[in-house]
Amino acid sequence: MKKLLLLLSLFLCIQEVKAQMNCNYFATQVGSTVTFNYPPMISIIVLDSAYWDFGDGTTLMQYAGGFTIVTHTYTAPGTYNACLTMWGHQLGSTTVLTCTGCQTFTVTGPPPCNASFNFVQAGNTVSFTSTSSGPGVITSNVWVYGDASPNGTTANPVHTYPGPGQYIVCHTISGGTSAGVFTCTTCDTITIASPPPPCIATANYSTTISGLTVNFNNTSSCTNCMSQINSWDFGDGTLPSLLPSPSHTFATGGTYNVCLTLAALDSNGTPCTDTLCKLITVVGPSGVTEHHLHTLDFYPNPAGNSIAFNLPVNEQIQSIEVFDLTGRMISEVPSILTSTQEVSLNIQSLETGLYMVKVQMQSMRSFSGKFLKH
């Protein structure tokens, strides 16, 4: 009876050992790498083989004598069901014991590769600024400008296009991380507009004369002009007028060379000018007309650093005054009397523009003229 009870107890123990065999493995995850450890085994269980299915299409089979800790790295983000199946037997038995255990692992990827850029246009020239980001350090920038020119290789290039048109610009970045190489591309369209037409200034005017007073009617035209200035030189030594259609009273009767200069800018800021001069005769109260012109001829005109003129009379100069188009007198313009009647002006300090010169003689006669500084 005691022997029977001993055999029954041994049978129940064997069944209990079978029930305790399990595949609940241990695992630790760092990033995309998971380290798998076999579950502990009681001493009477012999492990014959094990099969790992990592859930990403890769597997591993191990046999007795080669059971080691298993490390597996997932190459792409996702959720994976990793399963371990083991086969073994109990000491003193040929009965095959088996079990399967699974766990789920979530692998997140690095931040995405993002290629992007801004640009600023100035005519045909475009300045590009990369605003790209990657999962690691960006080591390469490639710009395809869309005009068959060589590629750009800096992060923020400046490129000048050959002419008007639409160009597809693509910016590619690349670099590397511990997970591998990354690269991405973005494209945008650059439109280079045709340049605006230049401005064309045409000066013209008509007059109505009453004694010494002349009313000037400005009939000028300016095509493709964004801004314009009218400057009237009445030819009598007085300051110029910037009114569109001024009225002017001359001091004495005579013939005066009245010049209207129309100066304008196109949308690119490029200037255009035109000057029209007419001989205007006015009669004083006595009815006597004085036929003498008080005008100066400059050379060269336009001028660079210096300009010269000849006085029509051999008289002593009292003063030389230079005015800009606003009527402001330029105080520092050195003059040199190079000969009996030739005078040279140093205009190096003047800005580009149109200027008027008034020369007062000691005899009280005055002369005037204008020149263009380039």
Choosing from 49, 74, 107, the residue where a domain stops is: 107
Same-domain pairing of 216 and 249: yes
Mean pLDDT for the stretch of residues 187-201: 92
Query: Is pLDDT at 356 greater than 90 in this prediction?
Result: no
The 10s digit of each residue's pLDDT in 2-20 is 554 444 444 444 444 444 6
- The confidence score (pLDDT) of residue 186 equals 96
Query: Is pLDDT at 190 greater than 70 in this prediction?
Result: yes
Mean pLDDT for the stretch of residues 148-168: 96
Instruction: Give the distance, in angstroms, between the CA of residue 239 and the centroid of all CA atoms in the same chain.
Output: 45
- The confidence score (pLDDT) of residue 374 equals 82
Tokens matching residue 284: 């004083």
Same-domain pairing of 42 and 123: no
Same-domain pairing of 101 and 31: yes
Q: Return the higher-pLDDT residue of 107 and 5.
A: 107
Q: Look at residue 3 and give its three-state secondary structure.
A: helix
| Residues with Cβ within 8 Å of residue 349, at least 6 apart in sequence | 332, 333
Choosing from 248, 270, 292, the residue where a domain stops is: 292
Binning pLDDT at 50, 70 and 90, where does residue 192 land? Answer: very high
- The confidence score (pLDDT) of residue 327 equals 61
Same-domain pairing of 230 and 184: no
Highest mean pLDDT among 229-233, 264-268, 328-332, 354-358: 229-233
Q: Are 276 and 346 in contact (CB under 8 A)?
A: no
Whether 5 is covered by a domain: the verdict is: no
Instruction: Give the closest residue to 120 by CA, choosing from 158, 169, 87, 78.
Output: 158
Domain that holds residue 287: 197-292
- The confidence score (pLDDT) of residue 243 equals 95
What's the CATH number where 374 sits?
Answer: 2.60.40.1220
Same-domain pairing of 188 and 214: no
Choosing from 264, 292, 320, the residue where a domain stops is: 292
Rg (CA), the chain: 49
- The confidence score (pLDDT) of residue 63 equals 94
Mean pLDDT for the stretch of residues 89-109: 90
Whether 10 is covered by a domain: the verdict is: no
Query: Is pLDDT at 336 greater than 80 in this prediction?
Result: no
Mean pLDDT for the stretch of residues 184-205: 93
Whether 38 is covered by a domain: the verdict is: yes
Whether 127 is covered by a domain: the verdict is: yes
Same-domain pairing of 227 and 269: yes
- The confidence score (pLDDT) of residue 180 equals 75
Same-domain pairing of 188 and 201: no
Instruction: Give the closest residue to 149 by CA, choosing from 140, 159, 141, 158.
Output: 159
How does DSSP assign 308-321, residue by residue? EEE-SS---EEEEE
Same-domain pairing of 202 and 269: yes
Percent of the residues in the chain that have a pLDDT greater than 90, as a whole number: 49
Percent of the residues in the chain that have a pLDDT greater than 70, as a whole number: 88
Same-domain pairing of 239 and 313: no
- The confidence score (pLDDT) of residue 338 equals 59
Whether 369 is covered by a domain: the verdict is: yes
Binning pLDDT at 50, 70 and 90, where does residue 57 land? Answer: very high
Same-domain pairing of 182 and 212: no
- The confidence score (pLDDT) of residue 60 equals 95
Same-domain pairing of 54 and 138: no
Q: Which residues pair with 320 in a beta bridge?
A: 359
Task: Find the range with the poorest average confidence among 50-59, 276-285, 332-341.
Answer: 332-341
Q: For Cα atoms 62, 64, 66, give the angle at the middle one, nearest 5 degrees.
A: 55
Whether 8 is covered by a domain: the verdict is: no
Binning pLDDT at 50, 70 and 90, where does residue 198 land? Answer: very high
- The confidence score (pLDDT) of residue 286 equals 57
Sign of CA dihedral 9, 13, 15, 16: positive
CA 347 to CA 206: how far, in whole Å?
Answer: 33
Whether 9 is covered by a domain: the verdict is: no
Task: Find the range with the poorest average confidence among 57-66, 101-110, 131-140, 307-316.
Answer: 307-316
The 10s digit of each residue's pLDDT in 19-41 is 467 899 999 999 889 999 999 88
Query: Is pLDDT at 294 greater than 70 in this prediction?
Result: no
Same-domain pairing of 202 and 285: yes
pTM above 0.75, yes or no: no
Q: Return the higher-pLDDT residue of 186 and 43.
A: 186
- The confidence score (pLDDT) of residue 70 equals 95
What's the CATH number where 246 sits?
Answer: 2.60.40.10
Average model confidence (pLDDT) across the chain:
86
Whether 7 is covered by a domain: the verdict is: no
Query: Is pLDDT at 54 greater than 50 in this prediction?
Result: yes
Mean pLDDT for the stretch of residues 75-90: 92
Binning pLDDT at 50, 70 and 90, where does residue 293 land? Answer: very low
Number of domains in the chain: 4
- The confidence score (pLDDT) of residue 17 equals 42
